[in-house]
Chain A
Amino acid sequence: MSGKPRETANVGAGLWKATGMWAWLLFRISGLVLVFYLGAHIIIISTGQFGADGEALNGFMKTFDHPVAVLLDLALVVAVLYHALNGVRIILMDFGVGVQRHKIIFWSAMAVVVICFAIFAWVALTYIVTGEGVTS
């Protein structure tokens, strides 16, 4: 905890002028999206048990090769990266790192999100355009 007086400028409707409030809201929304995705992911993968040699699962995997599905995967990557990096910021704050400079830490974390996103966007777009993986 800091010894300085508490920030009181951002109160009431003014709360939404604060970076932290948007960081919190997006953290919550991305978290809820990921809870839903995890459930769906477990259920889809479990279809490997149905049909000979994973027939049902292969059907789903074919559907997910569609460009629209790949773009949705990319949106999922944004949710994962945002949630992960904002989570790192929160854990740093738990250790007292960056409490005074949380905006700098937040935007640094967002820079990491953008860099990681660029890698996955490259993978996804390569797949959409050529139908090949980046290392295959």
Chain B
Amino acid sequence: MWSWLFQRITAVLLIVCLAIHLIFTHILSIGELDYINIGDRLAHAGLTAVDIILLAAGIYHALNGLRMVLMDYWFTSRKRALTLTIGLWVVGLAFMGYGTWALWPWIS
């Protein structure tokens, strides 16, 4: 039941980090959302850390949630569920790599 536990741990991380993300992006700094503006925020190591946590926790929570939904429909057998889990891990790791690469121009 690790997936159950990790779904809750990532949920708590997402609530805290998403609140920080939304407040900094849309309340403390709004109207100038562009390449430069994003870079200004990511110049702070703390906000970069929040974004990386959001990326990892978000992808895990999203795909594990999707997995739970899909296992209610077609991926009902043990074999299909395993195929689904492996497939989603591949997709998730790919998005994690791509998302980190996407942030690179600002954090490097």
Contacts and interface: CB of A to CB of B under 8 A. Distances in A.
Do A and B pair up? The answer is yes
**Interface of B, helix, strand, loop or mixed by DSSP:** helix
Interface residues of A, number: 35
B98 interface: yes
A109 to B, nearest CB: 12
Nearest to A77: B22
B35 A53 contact: yes
Interface of B: 8, 11-12, 14-15, 18, 22, 26-36, 38, 55, 58-59, 62-63, 65-66, 69, 95, 98-99, 101-106
- Rank and list the top 10 A-B pairs by shortest CB-CB distance, nearest first: A54-B35, A133-B30, A46-B102, A133-B31, A35-B62, A42-B99, A58-B34, A61-B33, A31-B65, A61-B34
Interface of A: 28, 31-32, 34-35, 38-39, 42, 45-46, 48-49, 53-54, 57-58, 61, 64-65, 80, 84, 87-88, 91, 94, 119-120, 123, 127, 131-136
B35 A131 contact: no
A85 to B, nearest CB: 9
